[in-house]
Amino acid sequence: MWGRFSFGSNQQRAGAQLRPIHIVKTAKKSHGDSKMGGETAAEYAERLKILEQAQRRKMAQSAHRYVRGSTVQFYEWLQRGRRQGVPEGPPVWICGDCHLGNLGPVANHEGKVEIEIRDVDQTVIGNPAHDLVRLALSLASAARGNDLPGVTTAHMMEHMMEGYQQALKHPSVQRGRTAKGDDLAPIASALRLSVRRRWKHLADERIEGVEPVIPLGKRFWALRKEERAAIDSLFTEEATVAMIRRLAGDDAPKKVTVVDAAYWMKGCSSLGKLRYAVLLGLGKGTNRRYRLIDIKEAVAPAAPATSRVALRKAGLTQPEDFAERVVIGARALSPFLGERMLPATLLRRPVVLRELMPQDLKLELDRMTCDQAVAAAQFLAAVVGRAHARQMDAATRRHWNAELERNRPKSLEAPSWLWNSVVELLSEHEAAYLQHCRRYALSA
């Protein structure tokens, strides 16, 4: 059966619908007590092997998926000196992995929704032009995946720059909450789906004497004993409990309990790293409410950061701790997302805790028309532009916009540095994707 959960206050429930968590009627038993909870080193190695195989399989599914999972290769290209002409923008927090899959509807703790950057694992204080090139590559790859003509890709690059620069000039214009017009139908559809989603309510299902359990299977795996113990301990820490109660609202119960937890096989670049889903209970008895937390290991970024000398000159600092870096970057780039995140340490590794909201969605721009692809490029580039612009004062925005204009023809044509970068990166990634598929086929 599907259980119903009540999360947060009435105001928060005005948000969107979460994919329901399976409720298993079984004897009360935590994952930490399961057979796999005490797995051997060999069993743990087998877990990593399965994760690596899943990562290779996902990246072999399409060229566009390969581009999304090849952040390291993208920055290797930059480091090889093939970025001639790419302008040097002001040091700001950048996404670092600004592809289509990392943009989409994001909710704040009250359920309000905007299109924002939704994954900031690679965030650093760096050159905003790197986000532009990464986004352009992803858009061009999506166009090829939709079998759109090359001239459409050229128009996408032109309108992408138009959208980004308009956002620099008018950063207060909030277009991330609406997407109007037939050409923006795919994005508008994602927004409508997001705001319609609702939390399930536990009160609708009378599961007296039965514990909610995250279902073990292909995506959720049993924990080792030390993993479960570490997670239990984490949610007794003052900072963690304070965040959960703050997001739950003024009437949040004081007691926070880990009801269940599991290893989460999710994503592509994060496979093989710490990743957990944690079901929390707030309060007790019939008044208990539930929240779902994502715990994700924070690792060293592939994206190049601004030098320490330049940071000091600009009066900026970037945390050395990987988890703190991710959370501070999120709060700068995507306020709705950043307010739901907390840096922590788990099993001696830096991790980021994020409350999962049902409204958060990944944009899937499949089967686009030429006009829709061009409109999406302009709209999404404006989202990135606002994320950068909110970190700049008016003078810095004008200077950065002037620098982009200086590198752009008088016609609407995309600047040569962007077009040449995309052409070269597409050819490199296409060749690398085919080689990846060949290796995957031979190893199958």
Question: Does 441 have pLDDT greater than 70?
Answer: yes
CB of 127 closer than 8 Å to CB of 409: no
Question: Does 237 have pLDDT greater than 60?
Answer: yes
pLDDT for 331-364, tens place per residue? Answer: 999 999 999 999 999 999 999 999 988 788 888 7
| pLDDT value for 271 | 61
CB of 265 closer than 8 Å to CB of 201: no
Question: Rounded mean pLDDT of the chain?
Answer: 80
Rounded-to-integer distance, Cα 258 and Cα 279, Å: 6
| pLDDT value for 115 | 92
How far CA 156 is from CA of 116, 138, 162, in Å, comes to 19, 11, 10
The segment with the largest mean pLDDT, out of 39-53, 83-97, 232-246, 313-327, is: 313-327
| pLDDT value for 379 | 94
Tokens of 36: 């796999």
Helix (H, G, I), strand (E, B) or coil at 413: coil
Rounded-to-integer distance, Cα 208 and Cα 211, Å: 8
Worst-scoring range by mean pLDDT, 112-121, 225-234, 399-408? 399-408
| pLDDT value for 310 | 93
Helices (H), 249-352: 308-314, 322-333, 335-338
Question: Does 427 have pLDDT greater than 50?
Answer: yes
| pLDDT value for 180 | 64
Percentages helix, strand, coil for the chain (3-state, rounded to 5) are 50, 15, 40
User: In the chain, where are the structural domains located?
Assistant: 12-37+207-355, 53-196+367-443
Question: Does 28 have pLDDT greater than 80?
Answer: no
Tokens of 135: 């986004």
Q: Does residue 427 or residue 444 have the better pLDDT?
A: 427
Rounded-to-integer distance, Cα 51 and Cα 265, Å: 7
How sure is the predictor about 10, in pLDDT bands with cuts at 50, 70 and 90?
Answer: very low
Q: Is the dihedral of CA 102, 103, 108, 111 positive or negative?
A: negative
Rounded-to-integer distance, Cα 221 and Cα 237, Å: 25
Bridge partners of 114?
A: 106
